């Protein structure tokens, strides 16, 4: 049975959650392998809108087992709130949610570090979600992290917290939360989460040997990858398919890698965005697409799709299929632009030097738009000819077929192309 991944290809918020929701009913397992509460995956199941941050979107289907693997970071207090929200809808998680005992825990110390850094010197700002993501990953790699297993034992937790505070003390100008103030709440929340704790890589290995249908749910997007993205304006995890094996603790290879792109492009937070529109067209995209952050509520920066960047990230992430979301949002634009390169940039890749990246001036190809409302369309052949031509241009430029098209936020508002030509 094939393993499938759904991954973002831009700067996040491509509609991954919506797509995972629409296909996870047909999967036995749904696995998050990186990121944490910085993610905001918006879904419209029965019972109305819900935004998931830590929980795999498969929790919304009662037949789906959900793993939070060790490549993630987790704020246990926020997770408890999310669990309560999902269970409040009658979706019980006992026996269906498993949290890695090795997952990295975000503490009050990490939140303080993230917030104070963002409030500090302008040059150090990334525009983070202030969920403590960077400091939590940093502590993991500095070997002073707190892990899920530590929350289950007072002695282990006190030692782990003390280690982190000792090392971080000099960086927090004395306002670091102390060990004793963090200890009790973390032990209490650990006791509540104990029933979900497991060796998730073993569970996954077993599921694979039993030929279960497994879906990996990415968070953020390839352009936010900690190494391949627009560093330092990135998140702190590996967001491409390369992050899956390390994130789940199994040297596996995913067979079907679906890369999600909006029909245009957005970004929240700081950092370069070559095809950004800082004008009325950008505002129109923001309003038509409801482009406000699912986690922080910040207005998203909007621009045209950047096919050059898309082709690059498809190559490095081994994308086998594209999923294009929010095609409906482009209805009513007379002319559409697609980024096809940058002035004077002949290399096939993207510059590692952020100053060079920030200086990129995009070159565009203009394509005719369409007027029709396509939000009720359910097969490629029913799309307006110009919408089909748009999709065809994207897949020819990028060199990857568009396998899924999404035309609305609802579960049912997406369809497979079944490899059908978009003539």
Of 200, 191, 181, nearest in space to 97 by CA: 200
Find the binder of ligand IMO among 220, 406, 414, 417 (CB under 6 A).
220
The answer to whether residue 38 forms part of the interface with ligand IMO (CB under 6 A) is yes
- Is the Cβ of residue 15 or residue 339 nearer to ligand GDP in the bound state? 15
The answer to whether residue 267 forms part of the interface with ligand GDP (CB under 6 A) is no
- Taking the complex as a whole, the smallest distance from the CB of residue 41 to ligand IMO amounts, in Å, to 6
Q: How far apart are CA 92 and CA 77, in angstroms?
A: 18
- Is the Cβ of residue 367 or residue 404 nearer to ligand GDP in the bound state? 404
Q: How far apart are CA 281 and CA 290, in angstroms?
A: 14
Structure tokens at 304: 């045209």
How many CB atoms within 10 Å of residue 272? 18
How many CB atoms within 10 Å of residue 213? 17
Of 85, 7, 52, 64, nearest in space to 320 by CA: 7
Catalytic residue among 21, 27, 41, 54: 41
The answer to whether residue 15 forms part of the interface with Mg ion (CB under 5 A) is no
Q: How far apart are CA 335 and CA 304, in angstroms?
A: 11
Q: How far apart are CA 214 and CA 275, in angstroms?
A: 35
- Is the Cβ of residue 127 or residue 351 nearer to Mg ion in the bound state? 127
Find the binder of ligand IMO among 7, 9, 12, 362 (CB under 6 A).
12
Find the binder of ligand IMO among 15, 71, 76, 134 (CB under 6 A).
134
The answer to whether residue 128 forms part of the interface with ligand IMO (CB under 6 A) is yes
Whether 53 is catalytic is no
Taking CB within 5 to 8 Å according to partner kind, which of ligand IMO, Mg ion, ligand GDP, none is near residue 329?
ligand GDP
Cβ(62)–Cβ(38) below 8 Å: no
The answer to whether residue 394 forms part of the interface with ligand IMO (CB under 6 A) is no
Give the three-state DSSP class for 41: strand
Where residue 205 falls (left for φ over 0; alpha for ψ -120 to 50; beta otherwise) is alpha
Residues in contact with Mg ion, shown as a per-residue x/- string from 285 to 314 under the rule CB under 5 A: ---------x--------------------
- Taking the complex as a whole, the smallest distance from the CB of residue 346 to ligand GDP amounts, in Å, to 32
Name residues contacting ligand GDP, limited to 15-34 (CB under 6 A).
15-18
Select the span of 26-34, 124-132, 187-195, 284-292 touching ligand IMO (CB under 6 A).
124-132
Q: How far apart are CA 37 and CA 7, in angstroms?
A: 17
Q: How far apart are CA 237 and CA 254, in angstroms?
A: 18
- Is the Cβ of residue 8 or residue 134 nearer to ligand GDP in the bound state? 8
Q: How far apart are CA 309 and CA 351, in angstroms?
A: 11
Buried b (16+ CB within 10 A) or exposed e, 361-396: ebebeebebbeeebeebeebeebbebbbbbbebbbe
Q: How many positions of this chain bind ligand IMO (CB under 6 A)?
A: 24
Find the binder of ligand GDP among 4, 5, 8, 350 (CB under 6 A).
8
Select the span of 22-30, 173-181, 220-228, 243-251 touching ligand IMO (CB under 6 A).
220-228
Taking CB within 5 to 8 Å according to partner kind, which of Mg ion, ligand IMO, ligand GDP, none is near residue 269?
ligand IMO
Q: How far apart are CA 258 and CA 178, in angstroms?
A: 44
Helices 179-193 + 154-168 axis angle, to 10:
140
Taking CB within 5 to 8 Å according to partner kind, which of Mg ion, ligand IMO, ligand GDP, none is near residue 53?
none
C-alpha dihedral over 186, 192, 198, 201, to 10 degrees?
A: -60
In angstroms, the first-to-last Cα distance of the chain is: 31
Whether 54 is catalytic is no
Q: Residue 84 is inside which H or E element, if any?
A: helix 76-87
Find the binder of ligand IMO among 126, 164, 254, 404 (CB under 6 A).
126
How many CB atoms within 10 Å of residue 344? 9
Find the binder of ligand GDP among 27, 32, 41, 311 (CB under 6 A).
41
Residues in contact with ligand IMO, shown as a per-residue x/- string from 257 to 276 under the rule CB under 6 A: -----------xx-------
Catalytic residue among 13, 21, 225, 306: 13
Q: Would you name the residues annotated as active-site residues?
A: 13, 41
The binding site for Mg ion (CB under 5 A) comprises 13, 40, 294
| Chain residues in the site for ligand IMO (CB under 6 A) | 8, 11-13, 38-41, 126-129, 131, 133-134, 219-221, 224, 235-236, 268-269, 294
């Amino acid at each position: 049975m094939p393993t499938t991944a759904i991954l973002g290809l831009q700067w996040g918020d491509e509609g991954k959650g919506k797509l995972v929701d629409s296909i996870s009913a047909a999967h036995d397992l749904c696995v998050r392998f990186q990121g944490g509460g910085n993610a905001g995956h918006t879904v419209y199941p029965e019972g109305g809108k819900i935004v998931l941050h830590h929980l795999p979107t498969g929790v919304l289907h009662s037949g789906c087992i959900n793993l939070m693997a060790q490549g993630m970071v987790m704020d246990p207090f926020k997770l408890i709130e999310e669990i309560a929200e999902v269970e409040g809808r009658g979706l019980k998680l006992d026996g269906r949610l498993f949290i890695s005992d090795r997952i990295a825990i975000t503490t009050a110390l990490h939140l303080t570090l993230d917030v104070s850094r963002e409030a500090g010197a302008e040059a150090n700002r990334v525009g983070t979600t202030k969920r403590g993501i960077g400091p939590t990953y940093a502590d993991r790699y500095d070997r002073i992290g707190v892990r899920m297993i530590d929350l289950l034992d007072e002695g282990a937790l006190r030692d782990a917290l003390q280690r982190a505070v000792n090392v971080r003390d000099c960086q927090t100008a004395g306002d670091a939360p102390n060990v004793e103030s963090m200890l009790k709440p973390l032990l209490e929340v650990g006791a509540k989460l104990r029933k979900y704790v497991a060796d998730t890589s073993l569970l996954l290995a077993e599921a694979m040997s039993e030929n279960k249908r497994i879906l990996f749910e990415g968070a953020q997007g390839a352009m936010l990858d900690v190494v391949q993205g627009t560093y330092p304006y990135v998140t702190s995890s590996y967001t491409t398919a390369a992050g899956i094996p390390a994130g789940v603790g199994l040297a596996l290879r995913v067979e079907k890698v679906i890369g999600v792109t909006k029909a245009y492009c957005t970004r929240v937070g700081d950092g370069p965005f070559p095809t950004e529109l800082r004008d009325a067209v950008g505002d129109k995209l923001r309003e038509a697409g409801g482009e406000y952050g699912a986690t922080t509520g910040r207005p998203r920066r909007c621009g045209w799709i950047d096919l050059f960047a898309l082709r690059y990230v498809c190559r490095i992430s081994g994308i086998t299929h594209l999923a294009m979301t929010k095609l409906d949002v482009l209805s009513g634009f007379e002319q559409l632009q697609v980024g096809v390169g940058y002035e004077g940039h002949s290399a096939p890749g993207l510059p590692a030097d952020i100053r060079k990246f920030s200086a990129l001036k995009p070159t565009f190809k203009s394509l005719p738009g369409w007027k029709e409302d396509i939000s009720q369309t359910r097969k490629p052949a029913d799309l307006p000819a110009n919408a089909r031509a748009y999709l065809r241009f994207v897949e020819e430029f990028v060199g990857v077929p568009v396998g899924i098209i999404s035309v609305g936020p609802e579960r049912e508002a997406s369809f497979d192309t079944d490899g059908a030509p978009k003539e």
